[in-house]
Amino acid sequence: DTAVSQTPKYLVTQMGNDKSIKCEQNLGHDTMYWYKQDSKKFLKIMFSYNNKELIINETVPNRFSPKSPDKAHLNLHINSLELGDSAVYFCASSQFRLAGFANTGELFFGEGSRLTVL
Amino acid sequence: DQQVKQNSPSLSVQEGRISILNCDYTNSMFDYFLWYKKYPAEGPTFLISISSIKDKNEDGRFTVFLNKSAKHLSLHIVPSQPGDSAVYFCAASARVSGGYQKVTFGIGTKLQVIP
């Protein structure tokens, strides 16, 4: 009954390979995110989707392509992996509230997926 | 460009005493500030937040103070307990187009509460 679940939790792969990380949330939220925590421990937003629509797209290489088949899923596909892609990738979700209600930025995170590129 | 800064990478506090974690920010457009707690091998979990129009919010042992003129906020934990040992992330959110919020995180402060 995990609220935000990511698979796989660990991924070790060679440079140049293509890999995907899947994320699913059962909280009924309509907004999902991918964050990257690099070796310096910075937690940086990469993408955000609301109801399958891209709403935030930070300066991320084109090799990263998010896909949201429905509002409960946000997958991350990475092409031609590089050493610098090694990081922990966190999926998160939130519920967007309409006008009159505060959108505070409270996020619900998954446990993270540690990607190691050799 | 680090818009949310946590200058203390670590902090050790005796059990029962007060823990004070500090955070500075640079972007005046932030309208909410949040603290998240993270245990090893887990994702961050939301702890407490404060609106930019307030200067204090309290939830049990946790209080967040906001000094908008100094662009500074702090999290007070009192009394500190060993279970509070974790990495604490300061975060700030700003509205982007469409009314959505973009959340920016600091680098985190590792708190160790010594029994």
Closest chain B C-alpha to A14 CA, distance in angstroms: 23
Question: Would you call A105 and B107 a contact, using CB atoms and an 8 Å cutoff?
Answer: no
* DSSP 8-state secondary structure symbol assigned to residue A59: S
Number of helices (H), then strands (E), in chain A: 0, 11
Looking at the predicted structure, is the pLDDT value of residue A34 above 90? Answer: yes
Mutate to test the interface with B, among A106, A111, A114 (most CBs of B within 10 A): A106
Closest chain A C-alpha to B88 CA, distance in angstroms: 12
Looking at the predicted structure, is the pLDDT value of residue B100 above 90? Answer: no
Strand A113-117 vs strand A10-13: parallel, antiparallel, or unpaired?
parallel
Number of domains in chain A: 1
Prior bond to A8 cis, omega within 30? yes
Q: How many CB pairs under 8 A join A and B?
A: 75
Regarding predicted confidence, which is higher, A1 or A9?
A9
Residue of chain B nearest A109, judged by CA positions: B43
Instruction: Over range B103-112, report the average pLDDT.
Output: 96
CA dist., res. B31 & res. B54, Å (int): 10
Residue A75 domain-assigned (yes or no): yes
Range of the domain at A64: 4-96+107-117
- Residues forming beta bridges with residue A21, ordered by sequence position: A76
Task: Render pLDDT for A82-99 as a digit per residue (tens, 0 to 9).
Answer: 999 999 999 999 987 765
Highest-pLDDT range among A18-22, A43-47, B29-33, B99-103: A18-22
Please report, for residues A17, A35, A103, B9, B100, the alpha-carbon distance to residue A58 in angstroms, rounded to integers and kept in the order given: 23, 10, 20, 26, 14
Looking at the predicted structure, is the pLDDT value of residue B51 above 70? Answer: yes
For residue A25, count other CB atoms closer than 10 A to its CB. Answer: 24
- pLDDT at residue number A39: 85
CA dist., res. A35 & res. A38, Å (int): 10
CA dist., res. A67 & res. A81, Å (int): 18
Residue A51 domain-assigned (yes or no): yes
Using alpha carbons, select from B64, B70, B60, B89 the residue that is nearest to residue B24.
B70
Decide if B54 touches A, using CB distance below 8 A. Answer: no
Residue A101 domain-assigned (yes or no): no
Structural domains present in chain B? 4-114 (2.60.40.10)
Decide if B107 touches A, using CB distance below 8 A. Answer: yes
Task: Render pLDDT for A69-83 as a digit per residue (tens, 0 to 9).
Answer: 999 999 999 999 999
Residue A39 domain-assigned (yes or no): yes
CATH number at residue A12: 2.60.40.10
Looking at the predicted structure, is the pLDDT value of residue A19 above 90? Answer: yes
Residue A66 domain-assigned (yes or no): yes
Residue A20 domain-assigned (yes or no): yes
Residue A102 domain-assigned (yes or no): no
Mark out the alpha helices in B10-99 (DSSP H runs).
none
Expressed in angstroms, the distance from the first to the final Cα of chain B is: 38
